Structure 1
Amino acid sequence: SGEIIWQVLILGFFFVGQIVLPLVLGSLGIGGAGLSSRGRAIFSLVYYLLMAAGSLGVLWWSIRPWPWPQDMFTLTPSRSALLWGLGGYFVAVPLMFGVALLNQQIWQGQGGSNPLLQTVLEEQDGVALLVFFLTAAIAAPIFEEILFRGFLLPSLTRYTPVGWAIALSALIFAAAHLSLSEVLPLTLLGAVLGFVYTRSRSLISPMVLHSAWNSATMLGLFILGG
């Protein structure tokens, strides 16, 4: 139901990740302050994994009393799923390039950035760079595709046509990153991810696309930062 959708997004994603987890870690005296850049990178990965576990826990708790389609969270590897993911990536590249140029004109280079990542790039800490890469290329695609394409998109198709469900889930996906300057490109990326998922019916496809996009982005930053 619509109530379950908002329960998962608000309670699972926002409340657990942005309120409960910081309060719990703070009460235990656990935080990134005072750590080296490598320590803060590792802390960021651990924090992300805890947030993902909490959000997916709320998702499971919310939907377990209800029947859902057996193909809703399909993760079976296949040649078709891989090709949809890789094909979607090569389609996304020129589209994202065009949107990036438009976004640059809108924000005039004033978009947000990750100061910790910038510090790590300047220090050329291999371990910290690897941790950032693992977070972006593996952890994020798995968690975000399960939540936004595996759960949210199919749920929205119960209330709207598939095209509108893809668009709305893409916008929510972008907004969840809490970066106003990145809403436009992330919405486009979310739309491509959603389209690929609806065609392949396998989460492997958007995970591959998402991982390829984040990997290429991170490698580009590493090269430029070096």
Structure 2
Amino acid sequence: MKNSTITILVTYVIAQTLPALLGSLVPSNAKTSVIIYSTIACFILGSLVMILLNKKFPIKNSLTIQPSVSKGQVLSWGFIGMFLAIFVQITANLIEQAVLKIPPGSANTQYIIEIINKYPLFLITGAIFAPILEEFVFRKVIFGFFYDLTGVVGAAVISSLLFAFIHMDGHILLYSAMGFVFCFLYVKTKNIATSIIAHMLMNTLVFISQMVLLK
């Protein structure tokens, strides 16, 4: 279990940092393309590594040893979770604007949209593979680890704050709120696939809607 946890974390770090390293090794006129396509490759391979590790060497804690709900319920809660995540995202955005005076809009999301417009294949990275990587790291590993140490609330706070900080665009409340939803889905169904599905559906909807609005 310990080895698979470390491997998942290392895989995430490599997927995040290797593309930039590769980009620094090529001429400037090829740098962007190398970073984009290597990111796609790293996220796909990283997702496969985490899925295989989860099957062969499952992480053991008091959350994962509990039986999962049925596949039908996983799909249902994944779909419901998409709407919950969007609802808390909108609510948190309004609070950030009214109370914290943070302007609306995510620089992280806008940056991804700009990349997708130039490199359409990158859509699969943000919509499919980034959610897989993030759910395994922030929910399966980090939330699962602290679940036994601090209880569900403490684990949700820690993992959701880390999830927010990693996006690095100032919307701490917004991303933390989404993180809480994904933690809830994981605890509710005892299956990481639920939060992955909700995360995928939410990202896909956000990216496509943003692309349509910007046209």
In 2: Cα distance, 1:199 partner to 1:184 partner: 22
Name the counterpart of 1:83: 76
Deviation at 1:91, TM superposition (A): 2.3
Q: Which runs of 5+ in 2 are unaligned?
A: none
Q: Is the 8 A contact 1:156 1:165 kept in 2?
A: yes
> What is the CA–CA distance in structure 1 between the aligned matches of 2:43 and 2:208, rounded to whole Å?
25
Maintained 8 Å contact 1:21/1:51: no
Using the size of structure 2 for normalisation, the TM-score is 0.74
SS in structure 2 of the partner of residue 108 of structure 1 = coil
169, 173, 184: which one pairs with 2:173? 184
1:203 aligned partner, one-letter code: I
- AA of the residue aligned to 1:189: M
Equivalent of 1:107 in 98, 102, 107 = 102
Counterpart in the other structure of 1:22 = 20
Aligned equivalent of 2:122, options 132, 136, 148: 132
| Offset from partner CA, 1:53-99 (integer Å, 9 cap, x none) | 569869x99xx999735947x99971011111112222232222111
Once the two structures are aligned, what percentage of the paired residues are identical?
20
Q: 1:213 to 1:44 in 2, by over 3 A?
A: same
Gaps of 5+ in 1: none
Deviation at 1:172, TM superposition (A): 0.9
| 1:118-172 deviation digits (Å, cap 9, x = unpaired) | 3764xxx6xx33x232111111111111121121111111211112111211111
User: Which residues of 2 match residues 45-194 of structure 1 at below 5 A?
Assistant: 45-50=37-42, 53=45, 68=60, 71=64, 78-105=71-98, 106-109=101-104, 112-113=107-108, 114-115=110-111, 117-118=113-114, 121=117, 128-129=119-120, 131-179=121-169, 181-194=170-183
TM-score if structure 1 supplies the norm length? 0.71
Aligned residues: 208
Considering only aligned residues, what root-mean-square deviation do their CA atoms show, in Å? 4.0
Alignment of 1:28-39 (within 5 A): 29=26, 33-35=28-30
